[in-house]
Amino acid sequence: MNFGNALDAPPGEGLELSERYFEAVRQAGFDTVRLPARWAGHAARTAPYPIDPVFFARVDRAVGLALAHELAVVLDLHHFHEMQDDPAGNTDLFLALWRQIATRYADRPSRLWFELLNEPRPPMTDEQWNALVEPALAVVRESNPTRTVVVGPTAMNDLAVLPALRLPDDPHLAVTIHYYAPFAFTHQGAHWVAGADRWLGTSWGSAADLAAVEADLRRAADWAGDAGQRLFIGEFGAYERADPAARARWTRAVRQTAERLGIGWIYWEFGTDFGAYDPAADAWREPLKEALLGPDRGTATPS
């Protein structure tokens, strides 16, 4: 389960991560949480680029709560938009952030994973991203020689560009993709997507729809098998303005297909606009919960 729109939200905004949310996730049967964090938004812009200790304390608390509730954790670097726009100009900051994060959590259990960068995207190119992965991994390895580090492809972690991803020779890597296809269904009415209101009313669930999910995720699984890499879906979900029954159908189909193909998953997200949980009611949205944790469930762990 992703705790999105929390540590990655602008200062003073977003979901407050109550301990009861970690309890609810664990009691429901989830075994992993992803903690997107807006590190660059809380760091100085001059060397050595120190991260605000108040923000570090917020992340410390979230990591500690997750681990205390026996959850695995994927801690990522989220919303670093400057990195996408100007990789060369932000490389020093990127490496400095990871040196601080890695050192801070070096003594945490191995079930804490580091994800180098959420959704690398244009104008960053494949070549630029591939060139950054090795030095970033080297920085992490200074203090965490065997911790699992997560890397995804460009185009916002699109599975279609997995073949362009070049990974260092390191036995402690995992690869992530994000899956929101078809976008006109999963993002209908999303206020941050231009023209998304035109998609309102888009449904999902035909035989062709199911076949498309199968084809997409099989292609990703085949790549992982050929590359000898662990693979998981770090984000998938449908926005709240889609029909609830169709959201549940899509969520179940993606989850079932991923599990059948040996792909782990982490749902986007817990308690805001894609949320499987309703914080106001302090209760799960049962159709989505059942779609994720139904009796047919295999394993959800990204391993």
Instruction: Give the tens place of pLDDT for each residue, 269-296.
Output: 999 999 999 999 999 999 999 999 998 8
Q: Report if residue 257 sits inside a domain.
A: yes
Q: Report if residue 126 sits inside a domain.
A: yes
Q: What is the mean pLDDT of residues 233-259?
A: 98
Q: Answer yes or no: is pLDDT of 167 > 80.
A: yes
Q: Report if residue 11 sits inside a domain.
A: no
Q: Answer yes or no: is pLDDT of 38 > 50.
A: yes
Phi, psi of 19 (to 5 degrees): -60, -30
Q: What is the mean pLDDT of residues 246-272?
A: 98
Greatest Cα-to-Cα distance within the chain, rounded to the nearest angstrom = 55
More confident residue, 15 or 300: 15
Q: Report if residue 155 sits inside a domain.
A: yes
Instruction: Give the tens place of pLDDT for each residue, 123-140.
Output: 999 999 999 999 999 999
Residue 122: pLDDT band (50, 70, 90) is: very high
CA 108/CA 192 separation, integer angstroms:
36
Q: Report if residue 6 sits inside a domain.
A: no
Q: Answer yes or no: is pLDDT of 303 > 70.
A: no
Domain membership of residue 214 as a residue range: 19-293
Q: Answer yes or no: is pLDDT of 301 > 70.
A: no
Q: Which amino acid is at 7?
A: L
Q: Report if residue 160 sits inside a domain.
A: yes
Q: What is the mean pLDDT of residues 247-274?
A: 98
Percent of the chain with pLDDT over 70: 98
Name the token pair of 122: 């244009």
Quote the pTM value. Answer: 0.96
Residues 71/22, Cβ–Cβ less than 8 Å: yes
Interior angle at CA 22, CA 268 and CA 80, nearest 5: 45
Instruction: Give the tens place of pLDDT for each residue, 44-103.
Output: 999 999 999 999 999 999 999 999 999 999 999 999 999 999 999 999 999 999 999 999
Dihedral of CA atoms 70, 72, 77, 79 in degrees, nearest 10, equals -80
CATH code (residue 58): 3.20.20.80
Mean pLDDT check: name the lowest of 15-24, 85-94, 292-301: 292-301
- Residue the block writes with tokens 């669930």: 205
Give residue 66's pLDDT.
98
Give residue 295's pLDDT.
84
Taking the CB of residue 29, how many other CB atoms lie within 10 A of it? 11
Give residue 298's pLDDT.
55
CA 94/CA 263 separation, integer angstroms:
29
Q: Report if residue 30 sits inside a domain.
A: yes
Look at the chain and report how many structural domains it folds into. Answer: 1
Q: Report if residue 158 sits inside a domain.
A: yes
Short-list 24, 114, 119, 9, CA closest to 71: 24
Give residue 208's pLDDT.
98
